[in-house]
Amino acid sequence: MPRVAGYSATPQSRKLGLKDGTRLAVVGAPEGWPLEAPPAVENVDGDDAADVILAFVRDLATLDGGIGGWGRRIAPAGMVWVLWPRKAAGHRSEVDENAIREAALVRGLVDVKVAAVDTDWSGLKLVWRKENR
């Protein structure tokens, strides 16, 4: 049985909205970070369009430098999960959900879900505002 993230019994791939055929980009993941029980996704990189982006951020500079490009890659109806180190797991980071939300809102993205992605990472799911799709 796969490791359960946080307090939820929901499988990680389901939390993240991953399904067979999803165009998935993983940006800035720590070396060796495992995606638990992934479906048959299509991995994309560079500036290619994606249905889902998992963007790992540890500092505000990475967040501010990346969020605009991530948004363009998911237009019009994809999602970006911005992941930051979980304080509940004892990690320290200048990034939190409020910083992510602030960076997203000025660019036309809105947050629709927050989740413990695994024992070390929290995530905020961002999508384009309906009027921007």
Q: Which residues of the chain have pLDDT under 70?
A: 1-8, 89
Contact 12, 36 (CB under 8 A): yes
Which pLDDT score, from 0 to 100, does residue 110 have? 97
User: What pLDDT does 133 receive?
Assistant: 84
Give the per-residue pLDDT at 2: 45
Q: Which two tokens stand for residue 14?
A: 């389901």
Q: What residue spans define the domains of the chain?
A: 12-132
* Whole-angstrom distance, CA of residue 99 vs CA of residue 49: 25
- What values do phi and psi take at 119, rounded to 5? -70, -20
Query: The domain 12-132: what is its CATH number?
Result: 3.40.50.150
